A and B are shown apart, each in its own frame.
Chain A
Amino acid sequence: MTHNSKLANNLEQWQEVIGEDADRLWQALEVSGSHRALTPPARPKRWLSLGKIAAALGSVGLVALLQWQVAQDRDLLRTENLQLRLLSHNAMQQLEALTQIQNLSPETAMTVAPQLLSMLTNSEDPNVQLSALEALIRLQLIRSAADLPTFTSEQGQARFIAATYQQLYGE
Protein backbone atom coordinates (compact mmCIF):
# COMPACT_ATOMS: atom_id res chain seq x y z
CA MET A 1 0.00 0.00 0.00
CA THR A 2 1.46 3.46 -1.01
CA HIS A 3 1.73 6.25 1.52
CA ASN A 4 -1.09 8.24 -0.15
CA SER A 5 -3.36 5.31 -0.34
CA LYS A 6 -2.62 4.63 3.31
CA LEU A 7 -3.61 8.20 4.21
CA ALA A 8 -6.77 7.87 2.15
CA ASN A 9 -7.52 4.70 3.95
CA ASN A 10 -6.96 6.41 7.29
CA LEU A 11 -9.34 9.21 6.32
CA GLU A 12 -11.91 6.65 5.30
CA GLN A 13 -11.44 4.89 8.63
CA TRP A 14 -11.85 8.15 10.55
CA GLN A 15 -15.02 8.88 8.57
CA GLU A 16 -16.35 5.50 9.28
CA VAL A 17 -15.82 5.80 13.00
CA ILE A 18 -16.78 9.37 13.77
CA GLY A 19 -19.03 10.17 10.82
CA GLU A 20 -19.58 13.70 9.55
CA ASP A 21 -17.14 15.28 12.03
CA ALA A 22 -14.32 13.33 10.43
CA ASP A 23 -13.56 15.93 7.72
CA ARG A 24 -13.15 18.74 10.22
CA LEU A 25 -11.02 16.56 12.45
CA TRP A 26 -8.89 15.44 9.51
CA GLN A 27 -8.30 19.08 8.48
CA ALA A 28 -7.26 19.90 12.01
CA LEU A 29 -4.87 16.95 12.02
CA GLU A 30 -3.46 18.03 8.64
CA VAL A 31 -2.88 21.56 9.94
CA SER A 32 -1.02 20.22 12.94
CA GLY A 33 0.82 17.67 10.77
CA SER A 34 -0.07 14.88 13.05
CA HIS A 35 -2.34 13.19 10.52
CA ARG A 36 0.60 11.10 9.40
CA ALA A 37 1.53 9.96 12.85
CA LEU A 38 -1.86 9.48 14.45
CA THR A 39 -3.37 6.06 13.98
CA PRO A 40 -7.08 6.21 13.29
CA PRO A 41 -9.40 4.52 15.78
CA ALA A 42 -10.15 0.89 15.18
CA ARG A 43 -13.09 0.09 12.91
CA PRO A 44 -16.11 -1.11 14.80
CA LYS A 45 -16.55 -4.83 14.60
CA ARG A 46 -19.93 -4.51 12.93
CA TRP A 47 -20.84 -8.15 12.65
CA LEU A 48 -19.87 -8.81 16.23
CA SER A 49 -22.13 -5.96 17.44
CA LEU A 50 -24.99 -7.15 15.32
CA GLY A 51 -24.42 -10.59 16.79
CA LYS A 52 -24.58 -9.20 20.30
CA ILE A 53 -27.77 -7.33 19.54
CA ALA A 54 -29.27 -10.41 17.96
CA ALA A 55 -28.21 -12.51 20.96
CA ALA A 56 -29.72 -9.99 23.36
CA LEU A 57 -32.92 -9.85 21.36
CA GLY A 58 -32.96 -13.62 21.22
CA SER A 59 -32.54 -13.89 24.98
CA VAL A 60 -35.33 -11.44 25.61
CA GLY A 61 -37.50 -13.31 23.14
CA LEU A 62 -36.69 -16.64 24.75
CA VAL A 63 -37.49 -15.34 28.20
CA ALA A 64 -40.75 -13.87 26.90
CA LEU A 65 -41.56 -17.16 25.18
CA LEU A 66 -40.87 -19.11 28.35
CA GLN A 67 -42.99 -16.74 30.38
CA TRP A 68 -45.78 -16.99 27.83
CA GLN A 69 -45.52 -20.78 27.93
CA VAL A 70 -45.66 -20.79 31.73
CA ALA A 71 -48.68 -18.46 31.65
CA GLN A 72 -50.33 -20.70 29.05
CA ASP A 73 -49.66 -23.77 31.17
CA ARG A 74 -51.03 -22.00 34.24
CA ASP A 75 -54.13 -20.92 32.32
CA LEU A 76 -54.56 -24.44 31.02
CA LEU A 77 -54.21 -25.89 34.50
CA ARG A 78 -56.61 -23.30 35.87
CA THR A 79 -59.10 -24.04 33.11
CA GLU A 80 -58.70 -27.79 33.53
CA ASN A 81 -59.15 -27.43 37.27
CA LEU A 82 -62.19 -25.28 36.63
CA GLN A 83 -63.61 -27.82 34.21
CA LEU A 84 -63.07 -30.63 36.68
CA ARG A 85 -64.91 -28.70 39.34
CA LEU A 86 -67.70 -27.85 36.96
CA LEU A 87 -68.01 -31.50 35.95
CA SER A 88 -68.10 -32.59 39.58
CA HIS A 89 -71.51 -33.56 40.92
CA ASN A 90 -70.65 -31.89 44.19
CA ALA A 91 -72.73 -28.72 44.42
CA MET A 92 -70.20 -27.00 46.68
CA GLN A 93 -67.35 -27.57 44.22
CA GLN A 94 -69.55 -26.33 41.42
CA LEU A 95 -70.41 -23.18 43.39
CA GLU A 96 -66.70 -22.63 43.98
CA ALA A 97 -65.96 -22.94 40.25
CA LEU A 98 -68.81 -20.61 39.37
CA THR A 99 -67.41 -18.02 41.77
CA GLN A 100 -64.05 -18.25 39.96
CA ILE A 101 -65.74 -17.80 36.60
CA GLN A 102 -67.07 -14.42 37.71
CA ASN A 103 -63.48 -13.20 37.87
CA LEU A 104 -62.40 -14.55 34.48
CA SER A 105 -62.33 -12.62 31.26
CA PRO A 106 -65.25 -13.44 28.92
CA GLU A 107 -62.79 -15.08 26.50
CA THR A 108 -61.52 -17.52 29.12
CA ALA A 109 -64.98 -18.09 30.58
CA MET A 110 -66.23 -18.93 27.11
CA THR A 111 -63.99 -22.03 27.09
CA VAL A 112 -66.19 -23.61 29.77
CA ALA A 113 -69.52 -22.57 28.22
CA PRO A 114 -70.54 -26.20 27.46
CA GLN A 115 -70.06 -27.13 31.11
CA LEU A 116 -72.09 -24.09 32.19
CA LEU A 117 -74.95 -25.15 29.92
CA SER A 118 -74.75 -28.68 31.27
CA MET A 119 -74.91 -27.44 34.85
CA LEU A 120 -77.88 -25.21 34.10
CA THR A 121 -79.67 -28.15 32.51
CA ASN A 122 -78.75 -31.02 34.80
CA SER A 123 -77.74 -29.77 38.23
CA GLU A 124 -79.95 -30.73 41.15
CA ASP A 125 -78.99 -27.63 43.09
CA PRO A 126 -80.96 -24.45 42.26
CA ASN A 127 -78.13 -22.18 43.45
CA VAL A 128 -75.74 -23.88 41.06
CA GLN A 129 -78.28 -23.52 38.26
CA LEU A 130 -78.84 -19.83 39.01
CA SER A 131 -75.11 -19.08 39.11
CA ALA A 132 -74.62 -20.93 35.81
CA LEU A 133 -77.55 -18.99 34.35
CA GLU A 134 -76.00 -15.68 35.43
CA ALA A 135 -72.65 -16.68 33.90
CA LEU A 136 -74.29 -17.64 30.60
CA ILE A 137 -76.17 -14.35 30.52
CA ARG A 138 -72.91 -12.48 31.15
CA LEU A 139 -71.40 -14.35 28.20
CA GLN A 140 -74.47 -13.42 26.16
CA LEU A 141 -75.16 -17.06 25.40
CA ILE A 142 -78.63 -16.60 26.90
CA ARG A 143 -80.33 -13.40 25.80
CA SER A 144 -84.01 -14.25 26.25
CA ALA A 145 -86.29 -16.84 27.80
CA ALA A 146 -86.34 -18.59 24.43
CA ASP A 147 -82.63 -19.39 24.86
CA LEU A 148 -83.23 -21.36 28.05
CA PRO A 149 -82.50 -25.07 27.60
CA THR A 150 -84.92 -27.92 28.12
CA PHE A 151 -84.41 -28.97 31.70
CA THR A 152 -83.76 -32.56 32.60
CA SER A 153 -83.76 -31.93 36.33
CA GLU A 154 -86.82 -32.26 38.49
CA GLN A 155 -89.86 -30.40 37.16
CA GLY A 156 -90.38 -28.12 40.15
CA GLN A 157 -86.79 -27.02 39.81
CA ALA A 158 -87.24 -26.31 36.09
CA ARG A 159 -90.26 -24.13 36.88
CA PHE A 160 -88.20 -22.38 39.54
CA ILE A 161 -85.41 -21.52 37.11
CA ALA A 162 -87.84 -20.32 34.43
CA ALA A 163 -89.76 -18.22 36.96
CA THR A 164 -86.54 -16.85 38.40
CA TYR A 165 -85.35 -15.86 34.96
CA GLN A 166 -88.56 -13.90 34.52
CA GLN A 167 -88.11 -12.22 37.89
CA LEU A 168 -84.47 -11.40 37.27
CA TYR A 169 -84.70 -10.24 33.70
CA GLY A 170 -88.34 -9.21 33.37
CA GLU A 171 -89.38 -11.51 30.55
Chain B
Amino acid sequence: MPSRSAQSLCYAVLCLLLTALAPAQAWAQENNPVYYPLALPGPAQLASLDTLMVYGDFLDIRISPSEDAAQILWAAQPLPHTDPAGSLPLIESEILSPTLNITDSRLIIRAESTHTHYSLNIALPATWRYQLRVYGAGDIETIGINGNLTAWSTGGNITVREQAGRVSLTAMDGVVRAQLLEGALTGSSAITMSHGVADDDTLIVALPDNAQATIRVRARGTLSSDIPSLQNEQASAVEFDFSQYLEMKLNGGGAALTLRNLQGDVQLLRALSE
Protein backbone atom coordinates (compact mmCIF):
# COMPACT_ATOMS: atom_id res chain seq x y z
CA MET B 1 0.00 0.00 0.00
CA PRO B 2 1.54 3.38 -0.97
CA SER B 3 2.39 5.71 1.81
CA ARG B 4 0.37 8.84 2.55
CA SER B 5 3.22 11.05 1.24
CA ALA B 6 3.33 9.12 -2.03
CA GLN B 7 -0.43 9.59 -2.42
CA SER B 8 -0.09 13.33 -1.80
CA LEU B 9 2.67 13.49 -4.39
CA CYS B 10 0.48 11.75 -6.96
CA TYR B 11 -2.40 14.17 -6.32
CA ALA B 12 -0.03 17.10 -6.64
CA VAL B 13 1.33 15.83 -9.96
CA LEU B 14 -2.22 15.21 -11.23
CA CYS B 15 -3.27 18.71 -10.21
CA LEU B 16 -0.24 20.18 -11.95
CA LEU B 17 -1.00 18.20 -15.10
CA LEU B 18 -4.64 19.30 -15.11
CA THR B 19 -3.62 22.90 -14.56
CA ALA B 20 -1.15 22.70 -17.43
CA LEU B 21 -3.67 21.04 -19.74
CA ALA B 22 -6.58 23.37 -18.94
CA PRO B 23 -5.65 26.10 -21.46
CA ALA B 24 -5.12 23.45 -24.10
CA GLN B 25 -8.54 21.96 -23.31
CA ALA B 26 -10.17 25.39 -23.51
CA TRP B 27 -8.45 26.03 -26.84
CA ALA B 28 -9.62 22.69 -28.16
CA GLN B 29 -13.15 23.40 -26.95
CA GLU B 30 -13.12 26.80 -28.64
CA ASN B 31 -11.97 25.43 -31.99
CA ASN B 32 -13.66 22.06 -31.87
CA PRO B 33 -16.85 22.61 -29.94
CA VAL B 34 -18.13 19.68 -27.97
CA TYR B 35 -21.45 18.39 -29.25
CA TYR B 36 -24.19 17.10 -26.98
CA PRO B 37 -27.28 15.17 -28.02
CA LEU B 38 -30.62 16.92 -27.71
CA ALA B 39 -33.18 14.60 -26.14
CA LEU B 40 -35.67 13.62 -28.86
CA PRO B 41 -39.11 12.08 -28.38
CA GLY B 42 -39.46 8.33 -28.69
CA PRO B 43 -39.77 6.58 -32.05
CA ALA B 44 -43.57 6.35 -31.92
CA GLN B 45 -44.01 10.08 -31.31
CA LEU B 46 -41.26 10.91 -33.79
CA ALA B 47 -43.09 8.89 -36.43
CA SER B 48 -46.14 11.14 -36.02
CA LEU B 49 -44.14 14.27 -36.87
CA ASP B 50 -43.35 15.65 -40.33
CA THR B 51 -41.96 19.15 -39.84
CA LEU B 52 -38.90 20.60 -38.14
CA MET B 53 -38.87 24.29 -37.28
CA VAL B 54 -35.66 25.85 -35.97
CA TYR B 55 -35.35 29.40 -34.65
CA GLY B 56 -32.15 31.00 -33.43
CA ASP B 57 -30.27 34.26 -33.04
CA PHE B 58 -26.68 33.17 -33.58
CA LEU B 59 -26.92 29.74 -35.02
CA ASP B 60 -25.32 27.46 -37.57
CA ILE B 61 -27.62 24.71 -38.84
CA ARG B 62 -26.47 21.63 -40.71
CA ILE B 63 -28.97 19.05 -41.89
CA SER B 64 -27.99 15.65 -43.30
CA PRO B 65 -31.20 13.65 -43.19
CA SER B 66 -31.25 10.10 -41.96
CA GLU B 67 -34.17 7.71 -42.16
CA ASP B 68 -33.04 5.29 -39.48
CA ALA B 69 -31.03 7.27 -36.92
CA ALA B 70 -32.80 10.43 -35.84
CA GLN B 71 -30.41 12.63 -33.94
CA ILE B 72 -29.84 16.28 -33.11
CA LEU B 73 -26.48 17.36 -31.73
CA TRP B 74 -25.86 20.82 -30.34
CA ALA B 75 -22.80 22.79 -29.35
CA ALA B 76 -22.52 26.30 -27.97
CA GLN B 77 -19.85 28.92 -27.64
CA PRO B 78 -20.15 32.10 -25.61
CA LEU B 79 -20.16 35.37 -27.51
CA PRO B 80 -18.50 38.45 -26.04
CA HIS B 81 -21.16 40.89 -24.97
CA THR B 82 -21.60 43.89 -22.73
CA ASP B 83 -24.19 44.71 -20.16
CA PRO B 84 -27.01 47.02 -21.25
CA ALA B 85 -25.33 50.03 -19.63
CA GLY B 86 -22.16 49.29 -21.55
CA SER B 87 -19.93 49.86 -18.53
CA LEU B 88 -18.65 46.30 -18.34
CA PRO B 89 -17.03 44.98 -21.50
CA LEU B 90 -17.74 41.31 -20.91
CA ILE B 91 -20.39 39.38 -19.10
CA GLU B 92 -20.17 35.69 -18.35
CA SER B 93 -23.48 34.00 -19.05
CA GLU B 94 -24.71 30.53 -18.48
CA ILE B 95 -24.97 28.45 -21.60
CA LEU B 96 -28.32 26.74 -21.85
CA SER B 97 -29.40 23.86 -24.02
CA PRO B 98 -31.67 24.70 -26.96
CA THR B 99 -35.30 24.07 -26.10
CA LEU B 100 -37.41 21.50 -27.86
CA ASN B 101 -41.21 21.50 -28.16
CA ILE B 102 -43.81 19.57 -30.11
CA THR B 103 -46.88 21.29 -31.53
CA ASP B 104 -49.24 19.33 -33.74
CA SER B 105 -47.00 17.50 -36.16
CA ARG B 106 -44.07 19.88 -35.73
CA LEU B 107 -40.87 19.55 -33.79
CA ILE B 108 -39.78 23.04 -32.77
CA ILE B 109 -36.26 23.88 -31.63
CA ARG B 110 -35.35 27.28 -30.25
CA ALA B 111 -31.75 28.35 -29.80
CA GLU B 112 -32.38 31.99 -29.08
CA SER B 113 -29.70 33.75 -27.09
CA THR B 114 -27.89 36.97 -27.86
CA HIS B 115 -24.74 35.87 -26.02
CA THR B 116 -24.33 32.32 -27.27
CA HIS B 117 -23.52 30.98 -30.70
CA TYR B 118 -25.14 27.60 -31.21
CA SER B 119 -24.39 24.91 -33.76
CA LEU B 120 -26.91 22.22 -34.61
CA ASN B 121 -26.17 19.03 -36.52
CA ILE B 122 -29.48 17.48 -37.46
CA ALA B 123 -30.31 14.01 -38.77
CA LEU B 124 -34.05 13.54 -39.29
CA PRO B 125 -36.07 11.94 -42.10
CA ALA B 126 -35.44 13.46 -45.54
CA THR B 127 -39.16 13.56 -46.28
CA TRP B 128 -39.85 16.06 -43.48
CA ARG B 129 -40.51 19.70 -44.18
CA TYR B 130 -37.83 21.99 -42.78
CA GLN B 131 -38.37 25.61 -41.74
CA LEU B 132 -35.13 27.24 -40.60
CA ARG B 133 -34.73 30.82 -39.39
CA VAL B 134 -31.61 32.56 -38.17
CA TYR B 135 -32.28 36.06 -36.87
CA GLY B 136 -28.72 37.09 -36.04
CA ALA B 137 -25.74 35.49 -37.72
CA GLY B 138 -25.17 31.94 -38.83
CA ASP B 139 -24.96 29.66 -41.82
CA ILE B 140 -27.51 27.12 -42.98
CA GLU B 141 -26.39 24.00 -44.83
CA THR B 142 -28.56 21.14 -45.99
CA ILE B 143 -28.01 18.08 -48.13
CA GLY B 144 -30.44 15.57 -49.58
CA ILE B 145 -33.78 16.90 -48.34
CA ASN B 146 -36.82 15.57 -50.21
CA GLY B 147 -39.44 17.67 -48.42
CA ASN B 148 -40.06 21.38 -48.81
CA LEU B 149 -37.44 23.68 -47.33
CA THR B 150 -37.84 27.27 -46.22
CA ALA B 151 -34.72 28.91 -44.85
CA TRP B 152 -33.74 32.44 -44.14
CA SER B 153 -30.79 34.02 -42.42
CA THR B 154 -30.29 37.69 -41.67
CA GLY B 155 -26.51 37.26 -41.55
CA GLY B 156 -25.07 34.11 -43.04
CA ASN B 157 -24.81 31.90 -46.08
CA ILE B 158 -27.34 29.34 -47.22
CA THR B 159 -26.00 26.26 -48.96
CA VAL B 160 -28.47 23.68 -50.23
CA ARG B 161 -27.28 20.49 -51.94
CA GLU B 162 -29.28 17.77 -53.69
CA GLN B 163 -32.58 19.40 -52.77
CA ALA B 164 -35.52 17.40 -54.10
CA GLY B 165 -38.33 19.40 -52.45
CA ARG B 166 -39.48 22.91 -53.23
CA VAL B 167 -37.60 25.82 -51.66
CA SER B 168 -38.05 29.33 -50.34
CA LEU B 169 -34.58 30.62 -49.44
CA THR B 170 -33.66 34.12 -48.30
CA ALA B 171 -30.24 35.47 -47.32
CA MET B 172 -30.06 39.10 -46.20
CA ASP B 173 -26.30 39.41 -45.66
CA GLY B 174 -24.90 36.28 -47.17
CA VAL B 175 -24.77 34.26 -50.34
CA VAL B 176 -27.04 31.46 -51.52
CA ARG B 177 -25.83 28.35 -53.28
CA ALA B 178 -28.56 25.94 -54.26
CA GLN B 179 -28.38 22.66 -56.12
CA LEU B 180 -31.94 21.78 -57.06
CA LEU B 181 -33.06 18.40 -58.34
CA GLU B 182 -36.15 17.79 -60.50
CA GLY B 183 -38.39 17.37 -57.47
CA ALA B 184 -37.65 20.92 -56.38
CA LEU B 185 -39.33 22.17 -59.55
CA THR B 186 -42.71 20.49 -59.15
CA GLY B 187 -44.24 23.74 -57.87
CA SER B 188 -43.35 27.36 -57.33
CA SER B 189 -40.03 28.04 -55.58
CA ALA B 190 -38.22 31.28 -54.81
CA ILE B 191 -34.72 32.35 -53.80
CA THR B 192 -33.78 35.86 -52.73
CA MET B 193 -30.37 37.32 -51.94
CA SER B 194 -30.19 40.83 -50.61
CA HIS B 195 -26.59 41.93 -50.05
CA GLY B 196 -24.18 39.05 -50.43
CA VAL B 197 -20.83 39.40 -48.69
CA ALA B 198 -17.87 41.69 -49.36
CA ASP B 199 -16.12 39.59 -51.99
CA ASP B 200 -19.04 37.56 -53.24
CA ASP B 201 -22.46 38.76 -54.24
CA THR B 202 -23.46 36.13 -56.79
CA LEU B 203 -26.52 33.95 -56.40
CA ILE B 204 -25.71 30.52 -57.84
CA VAL B 205 -28.36 27.94 -58.66
CA ALA B 206 -27.57 24.58 -60.24
CA LEU B 207 -30.31 22.78 -62.16
CA PRO B 208 -30.46 19.36 -63.81
CA ASP B 209 -30.35 19.24 -67.60
CA ASN B 210 -33.78 17.67 -67.91
CA ALA B 211 -35.57 19.99 -65.49
CA GLN B 212 -38.64 21.81 -66.74
CA ALA B 213 -39.16 25.23 -65.20
CA THR B 214 -40.13 28.78 -65.95
CA ILE B 215 -37.29 30.80 -64.50
CA ARG B 216 -37.97 34.40 -63.52
CA VAL B 217 -34.92 36.47 -62.67
CA ARG B 218 -34.58 39.94 -61.25
CA ALA B 219 -31.06 41.07 -60.43
CA ARG B 220 -29.01 44.22 -60.16
CA GLY B 221 -26.08 42.69 -62.04
CA THR B 222 -25.80 40.21 -64.87
CA LEU B 223 -27.24 36.80 -65.56
CA SER B 224 -25.05 34.03 -66.93
CA SER B 225 -25.61 30.35 -67.56
CA ASP B 226 -23.90 27.29 -68.97
CA ILE B 227 -27.20 25.48 -69.47
CA PRO B 228 -27.49 24.91 -73.24
CA SER B 229 -31.24 25.43 -73.52
CA LEU B 230 -31.02 28.69 -71.60
CA GLN B 231 -28.14 29.94 -73.70
CA ASN B 232 -30.53 29.67 -76.63
CA GLU B 233 -32.78 32.01 -74.71
CA GLN B 234 -31.46 35.28 -73.35
CA ALA B 235 -29.38 34.05 -70.45
CA SER B 236 -25.83 34.39 -71.69
CA ALA B 237 -24.31 37.16 -69.59
CA VAL B 238 -27.34 39.37 -69.89
CA GLU B 239 -27.32 42.69 -68.13
CA PHE B 240 -30.95 43.37 -67.67
CA ASP B 241 -33.53 45.86 -66.64
CA PHE B 242 -33.76 45.63 -62.88
CA SER B 243 -37.27 47.02 -62.83
CA GLN B 244 -38.76 43.88 -64.34
CA TYR B 245 -38.35 40.13 -64.44
CA LEU B 246 -36.55 38.31 -67.18
CA GLU B 247 -38.52 35.15 -67.85
CA MET B 248 -37.02 32.08 -69.46
CA LYS B 249 -38.47 28.65 -70.14
CA LEU B 250 -36.20 25.73 -69.39
CA ASN B 251 -37.06 22.69 -71.51
CA GLY B 252 -40.42 24.14 -72.51
CA GLY B 253 -41.21 25.69 -69.15
CA GLY B 254 -42.88 24.44 -66.00
CA ALA B 255 -43.33 25.54 -62.42
CA ALA B 256 -42.08 29.01 -61.57
CA LEU B 257 -38.61 29.42 -60.07
CA THR B 258 -38.22 33.04 -58.98
CA LEU B 259 -34.68 34.32 -58.39
CA ARG B 260 -33.91 37.75 -56.96
CA ASN B 261 -30.51 39.21 -56.28
CA LEU B 262 -30.93 42.79 -55.18
CA GLN B 263 -27.22 43.70 -55.34
CA GLY B 264 -25.33 41.27 -57.55
CA ASP B 265 -25.27 38.67 -60.31
CA VAL B 266 -27.15 35.45 -60.92
CA GLN B 267 -25.53 32.30 -62.28
CA LEU B 268 -27.54 29.33 -63.49
CA LEU B 269 -25.40 26.23 -63.77
CA ARG B 270 -25.83 22.68 -64.91
CA ALA B 271 -26.04 20.36 -61.93
CA LEU B 272 -23.57 17.77 -63.12
CA SER B 273 -24.19 14.32 -61.75
CA GLU B 274 -21.25 12.87 -59.93
Residues of chain A at the chain B interface (Cβ within 8 Å): 91-92, 95-96, 98-99, 124-128, 130-131, 154, 156-157, 160, 163-164, 167-168
Contacts and interface: CB of A to CB of B under 8 A. Distances in A.
A98 B168 contact: no
A131 B190 CA distance: 9
Given A95-B168, A96-B188, A164-B262, 15 more contacts: A92-B148, A92-B168, A92-B187, A96-B187, A99-B258, A125-B152, A126-B152, A126-B192, A127-B169, A127-B190, A130-B192, A156-B135, A160-B194, A167-B194, A167-B220
Nearest to B57: A156
Chain A, interface SS category = helix
10 contacts: A92-B150, A95-B168, A95-B258, A98-B188, A125-B152, A127-B258, A131-B190, A163-B194, A167-B263, A168-B262
Contacts of B116: none
Contact of A95 (B189, B194, B220, B262): B189
Interface in B64-83: none
A154 B166 CA distance: 23
Contacts of A164: 194, 262
Of all A-B residue pairs in the complex, the 8 with the closest CB atoms, nearest first, are A127-B190, A126-B170, A95-B188, A127-B168, A99-B256, A99-B188, A167-B262, A96-B188
A124 B108 CA distance: 15
Chain B, interface SS category = strand
B172 interface: yes
B154 A156 contact: yes
B172 A160 contact: yes
A161 B93 CA distance: 33
Contacts of A98: 188
| Highest count of chain A CB atoms <10 Å: which of B172, B188, B191, B242 | B188
Contacts of A163: 194
Given A127-B168, A167-B262, A168-B262, A95 B190 contact: yes
B260 interface: yes
B256 A91 contact: no
Contact of A92 (B152, B166, B169, B242): B166
A17 to B, nearest CB: 63
Contact of A91 (B168, B191, B255): B168
Contacts of A96: 187-188
A127 B154 contact: no
Contacts of B189: 95
Nearest to A154: B135
A130 B166 contact: no
B154 A160 contact: yes
Nearest to A95: B188
Interface string B178-193: 0000000001111110
Contacts of B194: 160, 163-164, 167
Nearest to B263: A167
Contacts of B188: 92, 95-96, 98-99
A127 B150 CA distance: 9
Contacts of A157: 152
